[in-house]
Amino acid sequence: MSRLNPRQQEAVHYISGPLLVLAGAGSGKTSVITRKIAYLIQQCGIAARHIVAVTFTNKAAREMKERVGQLLRGREGAGLTVSTFHNLGLNIIRREHAHLGYKSGFSIFDEGDIKALLTDIMQKEYQGEDGVDEVKNLIGAWKNDLILPEEALARARNPREQTAAIIYIHYQRTLKAYNAVDFDDLILLPVKLFQAHPEVLQKWRNKVRYLLVDEYQDTNASQYLLVKLLVAERAQFTVVGDDDQSIYAWRGARPENLMQLKEDFPSLKVVMLEQNYRSTSRILKCANVLIANNPHVFEKQLWSEMGHGDEIRVVRCKNEEAECERIALEILTQHLKTQRPYSDFAILYRGNYQAKLMELKLQHHQIPYRLSGGTSFFARQEVKDLMSYFRLLVNPDDDNAFLRVINVPRREIGSATLEKLGNYASSRGISLYSACDELGLGAHLDTRFTERLARFKQFLDRVRRRCSKEEPIEALRHMITDLDYESWVRQQSASDKAGDYRMGNVWFLLEALQNTLEKDEDGEMSIEQAIGKLVLRDMLERQQEEAEGAEGVQMMTLHASKGLEFPCVYIMGMEEDLLPHRSSIEADSIEEERRLAYVGITRARQHLTLTYAARRKQYGEVIDCAHSRFLDELPAEDLQWEGLESAPVEVQAKRGNSALADIRALLKR
């Protein structure tokens, strides 16, 4: 096990008050957090059940959990909480749902559910769904700033915000009637609960004796307040962050939360982690010089013992096609010359749209690649629809599944009807599905709506009986046909080809379910267990895929690259209007773009290449591009510029042919 450096040791052993660890890129912050958890349990006598560590992604939480597990013995870690902020909030709501006026087993709305509900409300109230994304973003921002619907309406500064606030009131009321919460509620509700019920807050303060927070610069207003409420009494906490890697302002993140800590906890101790274990000194020098152009409250300088390293290459290309071709050919040449695996290479870019042309070039040269941010099979619309039908068949109390499919295909049962159904179900303490054919519902709803709801329930009851009496997969196939689901999918698809592809996913899902049933060694698996196993299998496979990092060049946005590292990194599109992005130039918010470039540079371990195009096609016309101001801010003595000389066309062609000849020669070896 690697030894901690003096600064890391200081951070691990300091437990007499609040601590901020300013951890530069690649400085071993995860080691500090995991070793500190072990130290608290083994040396300080704090029971694991009283320690909570929070971070931002499931992947980071899993990695932290595994590493802590390797440091602890036997049952030492029993009851330890390592989770995301949202999971912590979810656990609080689950335990305290009665205080918040929810039934147990409440549903969590995902992006698709939220959008569908807002669209429905807007169509009913405003005869249209224009601007649904803008309304969704405004509501999310209000929730992150702990602003409830009535307060949002009172604060509205213009008709646009006023309309959004009225929709927010409808939306929140409907969610409550559905016994559902959305993603932002997972932080908002615990904060509001703690503020309104001091006795509940005291109970959680007694549970959380020591709190550790990772990636603290990414916290928003509500997450900061949740942390502050939990630790205010004892001030026993460690937060780890890096103001230079705060790149999520668009998601509500506030790097100033690092400074706010000093005001709220005057006895705060600050420990700097400046030794980098990832990159060469030259790469770190470039990163330090670049980020020094941003204002800082805390000054830090990354350094490394990894050697000086190669110059940073800056490559000017004729246009975006030449840029992608150059990157693809260089990676192919390096792979063949040095036997470097393709997974050693990463291509980073500012926006996902830049990936398309790069993908085509990699495919053309038969270079395997892996695109981060692709859609998982189980995240596809048609798969989510059918999985919700299956979940409702095996568990009629699953309100979230019910809400997802009640209008798929459309049955003309709107949010107003569902709100009344939800209120009735809550008053009876039963699920939405069970309430559908109760006689008492007639007192709250018009006959045509009670008939539609009863018909839906009777239809699924019949399918359930068929599943238990005959071959379940056949019964589900009949269900899809009876729903006329294929016509619905085709109506919702942009083209016949897209419709075919989506229906292919539907039949593939049934096949996967069939295989799950057949693979059961005892032959005793029920359809309920098979469906449960299928969902779990997808989750585990995705986790495994993330963990293993499949062979292939890694392609991702600069935002997605945070926390990762690669021996060879290409950052493409280093141009004004791309990086920094035009919107940030217009809004005069260049600092975050500079932090984004800093994150990209500090992903590289040994080799870093920055590329840009002299001309680029935009909206059908070719425009001249200026290279990014960030290139001018890098230390000139550490850069090697290429492609600046305007060589005659024949020479360029000869150079290109010579590069291809080199590759062919390598292939013949």
Known catalytic residues are: 29-30, 214-215, 245, 603
Which CA distances in Å does 276 have to 13, 74, 273, 437, 588?
A: 20, 33, 8, 64, 31
Question: Cα(186)–Cα(81) distance, rounded to whole angstroms?
Answer: 17
Question: Cα(22)–Cα(120) distance, rounded to whole angstroms?
Answer: 46
Question: Cα(481)–Cα(512) distance, rounded to whole angstroms?
Answer: 18
Neighbours of 427 (CB within 10 A): 11
Question: Cα(589)–Cα(587) distance, rounded to whole angstroms?
Answer: 5
* Coil vs helix vs strand at 23: strand
As beta bridge partners, residue 301 has none
How does DSSP assign 340-379, residue by residue? --GGGEEEEESSGGGHHHHHHHHHHTT--EEETTPPPGGG
How does DSSP assign 294-350, residue by residue? S--SS----EESS---PPEEEEEEEEHHHHHHHHHHHHHHHHHHH---GGGEEEEES
Question: Cα(607)–Cα(605) distance, rounded to whole angstroms?
Answer: 6
Question: Cα(248)–Cα(378) distance, rounded to whole angstroms?
Answer: 27
- Written in H, E and C, the secondary structure of 593-627 is HHHHHHHHHCCEEEEEEEEEEEEEEECCEEEECCE
| Strands 107-109 vs 180-182: parallel, antiparallel or unpaired | parallel
Under 8 Å between Cβ of 235 and 15? no
Question: Cα(555)–Cα(557) distance, rounded to whole angstroms?
Answer: 7
| Strands 621-624 vs 604-618: parallel, antiparallel or unpaired | antiparallel
Question: Cα(280)–Cα(276) distance, rounded to whole angstroms?
Answer: 9
Which CA distances in Å does 624 have to 320, 372, 409?
A: 11, 30, 49
- 653: tokens are 């062609």
**Which DSSP state fits 450?**
H
Question: Cα(479)–Cα(472) distance, rounded to whole angstroms?
Answer: 10
| Strands 369-371 vs 553-557: parallel, antiparallel or unpaired | parallel
Long-range contacts of 337-341 (CB under 8 A, 24+ apart): 337/666, 340/567, 340/568, 341/551
Around 466, how many Cα atoms within 13 Å sit in the side-chain half-sphere?
14
Question: Cα(432)–Cα(398) distance, rounded to whole angstroms?
Answer: 8
Fill in the amino acid letter for 478.
H
Question: What torsion, rounded to 10 degrees, do the Cα atoms 222, 224, 227, 228 define?
Answer: -110
Query: Is 436 buried (19+), middle (13-18) or exposed (0-12) by CB count in 10 A?
Result: buried
Question: Cα(448)–Cα(375) distance, rounded to whole angstroms?
Answer: 39
Question: Cα(379)–Cα(381) distance, rounded to whole angstroms?
Answer: 6
Fill in the amino acid letter for 623.
I
Instruction: For tokens 């060469």, name the residue.
Output: 280
